[in-house]
Chains A and B, each alone.
Chain A
Amino acid sequence: MLAIEAHDLEKTFRSGCLRRRETRALRGVSLSIPRGAIFGVLGPNGAGKTTLLSILATLLLPDRGRATILGHDLRQEPGAIRRRLNMASGNASFLWSLRVEEILAFYGRLYGLSGRALQSRVDELVAVCELTTHRRVQYNELSTGLKQRLALAKSLVNRPELLFLDEPTLGLDPAVSVRVRAQIAALRHDRGTTIVLTTHYMREAEELCDEIAFIKGGRILALGTADDLKRRIRVGDVIALRVDAAGAATLAAHPGVLRSVTEDGWVELTVDSAEKRLGELLQRLHESGAVVRDVQIREPQLEDVFVELAR
């Protein structure tokens, strides 16, 4: 069963009265997301990630293309879709004077909750999102991390079957990010919620997502699991050498070296094949008299794939 099936979605934003400017945000995006999956949408700024999520969440109308969300047609049955999905974004904002529990209750009512059901839902969300001690604090007095947690709590108020998370850990400290990621994983595990998320943190995508779409210029450039992508987008292997600066300078020009980054006494070389090049590089360093203190070979990271595709 598919949670989302989208075909050839296109969206162009137009601005300006006298000098019309057009920005093609999506250029024929198609994707299928099975129910219960965590699907990542990655891409550089302005790639079209938020536009894609907003269309799938019924906040934006596509110019062309069609989509079925949880079995409902995106254009014909937006009301039925809205009952079953929700969304949280990293830069979410709410009414400044309302308290945490009032904000959750307000959105709960919009989904038809009232009385004891509403109260217990608010209590549950406040507890799950660790907002108990802040439940009577007004929104404008919350820290960034607490605002983010409130946004996540709000997005769970209707127990959505489909949840869109637009950079859910943006601006959070590492400890809170870890807890938010654990919550996201638990949502899928415990409730079978389908989750579509955008993030700039590659580790987050690699840790959480079953499948990832790389989007750039409004087009999906690659789609697959993190391992698939690393295999398919052949970015090479990484050889990390702890070597003095003089020795490092000669390595970037060596045949087969695709990229060279020097940081904290380490030289990270992305090469076409570690097996083939390691010996050559060590030989070269030996000949130049450089002292090699440590050598590591590692698999390419999702970040390397991202950099390659975003280039």
Chain B
Amino acid sequence: MWRFAGKRALAALLVLFAISVLVFLIFFATPGIDPAARIAGRNASQETLTQVRASFGFDRPIWVQYGLMMQHLFINRDLTSFVNRGSQVIPQVMQAIPVTLSLVFGAALIWVVLALIMGVAATAARGTVIDPLILVIGVIGVSLPVFWLGEVVNLVTQSRLHDTVFAWVPQLGYVPLTDGVGPWALHLLFPWLTLAVLYAGIYARVLRSEMVASMNEDYVRMARAKGIGETRVLIRHSLRTSMISIVSLFGLDFGALIGGAALLTEVVFGLQGVGKLTYDSLQNFDLPVILACVLYASFFVVLANFIVDLLYAWLDPRVRHV
């Protein structure tokens, strides 16, 4: 297991390095585009441009430029925005990270629990109307534009029904966990549900098909032969092995979530997370902020994938030897 973990950690580091190089190339080495003008923002003065060129070493070889970028980002952590003159970028990102993590983990918890319930129910009642129902929920989930769903939720809870049914829904925004669990969860409730709706169906569908397939496996027949009750067979024997596919799917979706659905959800619900920060900096082309957000977000995605790999190997020992 340790050997496996070491190998995966090394691979994760390599991937991180490759991503940083790719981002660097996109931002600083796209042919025909002056990176200094990009970083300085729209209509920057000559003076700012010179400052940017010196700070990022655009007159020096390309690997020095890469080194300088990484130094600004991760070592000195003194990357500054030129659009919002002089504001430090990294503290902004650091402040935003807990918001994004609160959103993502809360939503993930909800959709995994929902998917487990739906998946187990569908397996127990296979061949009934629940099966096609879950299929439909899954398809609708992957087809809904998340930003649109969020806006509709806002429309209903903040405007149309705010005076009656949803009077208890607080204003949009984020309240830190230190202000109490209640307000924190209440502010995040609808963003969580919006995200969970997208994924619960598809997870339930995957879980159901895995569980139904496992019903024909020897270990399930063995469990039944021992006289174990159907519920226990479902949960202790079938569900446990079927969780493996959910775990690997979660690893994939986490990345998509941080950079995609969660970003959009933050924008729609006004949560000041990494996604909202990226969005705000997109609006005024504040490149240093975008750069920092993208690299820090990728870092979390690679880290999450690493953890998922370990979890996977722990659940399914065969993986360790591949």
Q: A and B: partners?
A: no
| Interface residues of B, Cβ cutoff 8 Å to A | none
| Interface residues of A, Cβ cutoff 8 Å to B | none
